[in-house]
Chains A and B, each alone.
Chain A
Amino acid sequence: MKEFVEGSHAIAEIIKAVKPGVISAYPITPQTHIVEDLAQMVSNGELKSQFVNVESEHSAASVVLGGSATGVRVYTATSSQGLFYMQEVVFNIAGMRLPVVMTCANRAISAPINIWNDQQDSISLRDAGWIQIYAENNQEAIDFHLIAYRLAEDKRVMLPVMVCMDGFILTHGMETVDMPEQDKVNKFLPDYKPLYKLDTADPVSMGLLADPDYYMETRFAIQETMKDSLGYLPEISSEFNAVFGRDYRDLLVEEYQTKDAEKVIVAMGSVCGTIKEVVDEQRSKGKKVGLLRIISYRPFPYARIYEALKEVPRVAVLDKAVSLGAYAPIAVEMKAAFYGKKKGPKVISSFVAGLGGRDITLESVYEVFRRLTAKEVNSDFIDLKPELLKEDYGK
C-alpha cells in the first residue's frame, strides 16, 4: 500500500509488522522518531510488544540480548554515541550468535559534538560480527528490515544484522513508499523458532568462558558464516522479490551504468541518489561514467566488486567516514579487492565527503569526477572550507 510518510515512521510501521516480543531503546537523535512511534503503537494496543525504557544504550542492547536469548524476536535502534556506548554489548551479541536486528540512523561522532549525518558510527563497528546493510532510500530501509530478520534468524546464519540508514536524510525525509502488507510479511518472515533458549523446561548455560583451547574456533565460525552470507543474501533477495515484487538483485552491490564506464564512483547509502543524478546528466552528454553502490558492507563482497569493476580504468571511492591516520574505510577494501589481480582499475582514488552533515551536492559529485585523474589520491577531502583552516595554534 502506497503511503507518503517520514522515514522513521515507515521503519516503525515495518517493525510493527515484524511483531518483536521485546523492544528496547534509549533516546538519541536522529533515531528517536522510530522508537517514539513504536512506543505509541504499544501504548495504543496496536503492537503487543514489551517496550523497555532503559537508562542507557548499554542497557538497551543488553535488554534485547536477554530477550533474544529467551527465544523471542527483538528490536532496537540507535545512532552515533549511542552505538558506541553499546559497543561492548554489540560485539557480545554477535559472539553469542543472537539474531538481533538494529536500525542505525547514521550520525557523526563527537568531538566536536554534531548530530548530523555521516557513516562514522556503524563503519567504526565493522569488526563486531554484525551483518551491515546500507539503504539508499526509505523504500529500501523498510524492505531491508524484513530481509534483516530473515537473514539473522536463518539457521545457517544466526548473526545480528544492522540496517544502516542515513540520519535525517532518510530518517526525517518524507517519501512515498510501498508499505508491505501484513499477510505478505507473514509469508516472507515466519515466526522465530530459536535453536536454543533460556527455558526452565530444558536448562542450558549461555555465555561460557572459552579458554585458548576453544576461543579461536568461535571467531572462525563467524568468519565462515559471514562468507557464506554473501550467498544467502542473493537467495533471500530473490524470495523477497517473489513475494513483494521488488528486485534488489544480489543485495551485495548495485551496478548503475558501470558496463562501459571509464569513471565510476563507489559509495554507500543515500548519497547514491545524488550520484545517480549526476551520472544520468553526464551520460546524456555522452560521458561514460557510472556508480557502484555497496549495499552489504559486512560481509564485504570483494569478488562481486572485482567482477563489476575489473574493466573500469578509474574508480573514485567516496567515504562518509575516515580512519584517522590511514586510508578511508571503504577505500581500503576497494584496494584490497584488486590487489594482485590480473585486471582492475589503473587508478583507485579515495575521497572523503559529507562529514558531520556537510551537504554532498551535485557539484560535490562533479568535483569528485574532476579530481579522478590519472594521478591517484588518497583521503582527498571534498568541500573543505579553506578559510577555516587558516588558524594555526601550533606555531
Chain B
Amino acid sequence: MGNSPLFKYGHTACAGCGQAIAARLVIEAAGANTIIANNTGCLEVFSTKYPETAWGVPWIHSLFENSAAVASGIEAALIYLGKKDTTNVIAQGGDGSTGDIGLQALSGMLERGHDILYVCYDNEAYMNTGVQRSGLTPFDTNTTTSPSGALSTGNIRPKKPVPEICNAHGIPYVATASAGFPQDLSRKVKKAISIKGPKYIQIHVPCPLGWRHETNQMLSVAKLAVETGLYPLFEYENGILANRKQIVPKLVQEYLKIQGRFKHLINNPAEIEKIQHIADNNIKKYGLKVAPDV
C-alpha cells in the first residue's frame, strides 16, 4: 500500500495493527468530503500526537465517550450552514468508547436521526490502557482485568451485541465488517455513506499486542474469526437482515490456538465447547453456512 492523502503514513501504530488499516480503508472509501469526530483511544493517540497529524480530512478529538455527540453538533452546524448535502460526517471510536462508556451518546445520536456514520473499531478490549476487558471482550478471553487463574477461565460474559442494539433503534443501516476482508469493508462504508440517516458499522480489528499473535498474522487471524462464525459479517437494512457472508465453518480451535489471549484454554475442551456453541449459534442465527452442493 502506498501513501494516502487522507490518512498518511508516519503515524505511530504498532506493527500489524488492524485498526490502522481499517481506519485508512474507511476514510478512503468515504472520501475527502468528510469530517471525522474521533473518541479517545489508540487510533486518536497514534494518529494525532502534536505537532503531527496523519489526517488529511477535517478531524476532531474531544473526549473518550462523546464522538457521537460531537458529530451530532458538527452535523447540525453543517445543516445550518447549508453544507450537509456535500459533506459526510463520521464518528468513530474503539469498542470500549463505543459500546461501554459511549453507548449513551451513540444511542442518542442514532435515536435523533442524524445523518452520520458511526464506525466502531472492535479490538475487543481497552488496548490503549493495557488490554483491560470491555463489554465487547469475548467469552473466556484472558485480559489484564479478566485474567485466567485457578478459579477463572477469563472473561465470564459473552460479547455485548452492539450491532443488534443499534439495529433495535430502527436505523437504516447496520453492518459488521473485518480488517481481514478489506473489499467487503470498503463496499459497506460506501454503501453507508450513500444512505441518509444514522448508520453503524462495527469492524473487527485484530490487535497483535492485546491478542498476542504474530504481527504478520493480522489478516489470517481476522479471517479466521469470520470463517469460524465467531465474528459474523452481516448487513441490516431498515431492520431486515439483508446480507451475510456465508462460510464453510471451521472449528473455533483454529482461531483460538493462534492467540495468546486464549492460550489458557488449550487443554480445556469443556470451555472450547462453550465457545464452539457461541459460533454455532451465530451460524444458525445469521444463516452463515454455505448450502451444501446438491
Contact = CB atoms under 8 A, between A and B. Distances in A.
Are A and B associated in one complex? yes
Which of the listed residues A55, A205, A207 has the most CB atoms from chain B within 10 Å of its own CB? A205
B63 A67 contact: no
Given A198-B74, A200-B34, A209-B48, A66 B56 contact: no
B77 to A, nearest CB: 4
A203 B33 CA distance: 10
Which of the listed residues B34, B56, B66 has the most CB atoms from chain A within 10 Å of its own CB? B66
A71 B60 contact: no
B70 A63 contact: yes
Interface string B46-90: 001111010111111111011011111111111111000001000
Given A70-B78, A208-B53, A52 B59 contact: no
Contacts of A209: 44-45, 48-50
Interface residues of A, number: 42
Contacts of A68: 73
Interface in A55-74: 55-56, 58-59, 62-72, 74
Interface stretch (B106-114, B192-200, B270-278): B106-114
A349 B242 CA distance: 72
A22 B62 contact: no
B73 A74 contact: yes
B77 A54 contact: no
Contacts of A89: 62-63, 66
A96 interface: yes
Contacts of A79: none
Interface residues of B, number: 44
A52 B58 contact: no
A63 B62 CA distance: 11
Given A62-B66, A66-B71, A54 B108 contact: yes
A58 B105 contact: yes
Contacts of B105: 55-56, 58-59, 62
A199 B73 contact: no
Contacts of B62: 62, 65-66, 89, 92, 96, 207
Contact of B73 (A48, A63, A208): A63
A195 to B, nearest CB: 14
Interface in B5-38: 32-35, 37
A99 B138 CA distance: 43
Contacts of B107: 55
Contact of A198 (B50, B60, B63, B80): B60
B104 interface: yes
Contacts of A92: 62-63
Contact of A56 (B45, B53, B57, B104): B104
Contacts of B50: 208-211, 214
Nearest to B47: A205
Interface in B196-229: none
Contacts of A21: 76-77, 80-81
A216 to B, nearest CB: 13
Given A50-B80, A58-B105, A209-B50, A204 B69 contact: no
Which of the listed residues A62, A71, A89 has the most CB atoms from chain B within 10 Å of its own CB? A62
Interface in A177-220: 198-200, 203-211, 214
Given A198-B74, A211-B49, A205 B60 contact: yes
A49 interface: yes
A385 B58 CA distance: 58
A69 B60 contact: yes
Contacts of A71: 77, 81
A199 B89 CA distance: 11
Contacts of A53: 112
Nearest to A59: B69
Contacts of B111: 55
Contacts of B58: 198-200, 203-205
Given A200-B87, A209-B48, A50 B70 contact: no
A22 B79 CA distance: 10
Given A59-B105, A200-B57, A205-B55, 14 more contacts: A21-B76, A52-B73, A59-B104, A62-B62, A65-B62, A66-B37, A88-B63, A200-B58, A203-B55, A205-B53, A207-B61, A209-B44, A209-B48, A211-B50
8 closest Cβ contacts across the A-B interface? A66-B73, A62-B69, A55-B108, A70-B77, A207-B61, A59-B69, A50-B76, A63-B73
Interface of B: 32-35, 37, 44-45, 48-51, 53, 55-63, 65-66, 68-81, 87, 104-105, 107-108, 111-112
